[in-house]
Structure 1
Amino acid sequence: MKAVMAVCALLMLGGCATGGPSNPPWAAFSGGSCGKLSDDQELSMNLADDMAKEGKLHASLANLQNLPEGFAQVQLRKARIYRQLGRPEAGPLYRGLLGTCLSAEGDHGLGQLAAARGDNTLAASYLERAAQAAPTDEKIRNDLGVVYLNQLRTDEARFEFLTALELKQSDQLAALNLVTLLIYQDQWNQAAELASRAELTPEQVSDAQARAQALKTQAAKPASHQVAAIK
Structure 2
Amino acid sequence: MMVLLGVLALSGCAGQAPGSLAQMLGSGGCAKPDADQQLALNLADEMLNEGRPHASLAHLQELPDSLAQVRLRKAKVSRLLGRSEAEPLYHSLLGGCLAAEGEHGLGQLASARGDDVQALQNLQRAVRLAPTDEKVRNDLGVVLMSLGRHEQARFEFLTALELKDDNQLPAVNLVTLSLLQDNWQQAADLVARLRLKPQQFAEAQARAKQLQAIARAPVS
- Using the size of structure 2 for normalisation, the TM-score is 0.88
- For 1:220, the equivalent position in structure 2 comes to 216
- For 2:178, the equivalent position in structure 1 comes to 182
Separation (CA, whole Å) in 2 of partners of 1:173 and 1:92: 28
Deviation at 1:34, TM superposition (A): 2.4
Deviation at 1:40, TM superposition (A): 1.3
Deviation at 1:207, TM superposition (A): 1.7
Kindly report structure 1 stretches of 4+ aligned residues shifted beyond 4 Å: none
Is 2:159 aligned against 1:163? yes
Is 2:4 aligned against 1:10? no
- Superimposed CA distance per residue, residues 58-101 of structure 1 (whole angstroms, 9 cap, x where no aligned partner): 11111111211110011000000000001100000000000001
Deviation at 1:8, TM superposition (A): 4.2
Separation (CA, whole Å) in 2 of partners of 1:187 and 1:124: 26
| Identical aligned residues as a percent | 57
Structure 2 residue matching 1:156: 3-state secondary structure: helix
Structure 1 residue matching 2:6: 3-state secondary structure: helix
Is 2:47 aligned against 1:35? no
- For 1:29, the equivalent position in structure 2 comes to none
- For 2:141, the equivalent position in structure 1 comes to 145
Separation (CA, whole Å) in 1 of partners of 2:168 and 2:192: 11
Code of the residue aligned with 2:164 in structure 1: it is K
- Using the size of structure 1 for normalisation, the TM-score is 0.84
TM-align CA RMSD: 1.6
Is 2:101 aligned against 1:97? no
Is 2:74 aligned against 1:86? no
- For 1:25, the equivalent position in structure 2 comes to none
- Superimposed CA distance per residue, residues 102-146 of structure 1 (whole angstroms, 9 cap, x where no aligned partner): 000000000000000000000000000000000000000000000
Q: How many residues align structurally?
A: 205
- Superimposed CA distance per residue, residues 4-51 of structure 1 (whole angstroms, 9 cap, x where no aligned partner): 21x4420111117xxxxxxxxxxxxxxxx9211111111111111111
Structure 1 runs not aligned, ≥5 long: 17-32
Match of 1:121 among 117, 120, 128: 117
Match of 1:110 among 84, 94, 106: 106
Code of the residue aligned with 1:133 in structure 2: it is L
Q: Decide whether aligned partners of structure 1 residues 9 and 188 sit closer, same or farther in structure 2, where only a CA change above 3 A counts.
A: same
Separation (CA, whole Å) in 2 of partners of 1:145 and 1:162: 9
Structure 1 residue matching 2:213: 3-state secondary structure: helix
Separation (CA, whole Å) in 1 of partners of 2:32 and 2:180: 46
Code of the residue aligned with 2:95 in structure 1: it is G
Structure 2 runs not aligned, ≥5 long: 14-28
- Superimposed CA distance per residue, residues 168-222 of structure 1 (whole angstroms, 9 cap, x where no aligned partner): 001101111111001111222222232234333322211211111122233335x
Structure 2 residue matching 1:10: 3-state secondary structure: coil
- For 1:62, the equivalent position in structure 2 comes to 58
- For 1:210, the equivalent position in structure 2 comes to 206
In the alignment, is the contact (CA less than 8 A) between 1:142 and 1:164 conserved in 2? yes
Whose relative contact order is higher, 1 or 2, with alpha carbons under 8 Å and at least 6 apart?
Answer: 1
